Amino acid sequence: MFIKSLKKIAFNGLLFSVAIFSLAVKAETITTPSDMTCKEFLDLNPKSMTPVVYWVMNDDTRYKGGDYVDLHETGSVVTPKVVEACHQTPDRKFSDMKDDILAFAKK
Measured CA to CA in angstroms, residue 72 lies from 51, 65, 105 at distances of: 10, 20, 12
Distance between CA atoms of residues 2 and 51, nearest Å = 60
The per-residue pLDDT for 27 is 47
Residues listed for the chain: 107
Question: Which pLDDT tens digit goes with each residue over 28-77?
Answer: 566 777 788 999 999 999 988 888 888 888 776 665 565 566 777 777 88
Q: Give the chain's mean pLDDT.
A: 76
Q: Using alpha carbons, select from 103, 106, 104, 99 the residue that is nearest to residue 59.
A: 99
pTM, full prediction = 0.63
Domain ranges of the chain: 1-28, 33-106
Given the candidates 3.20.20.370, 3.30.70.260, 3.90.1640.10, 1.10.890.10, the CATH classification of the domain at 33-106 is 1.10.890.10
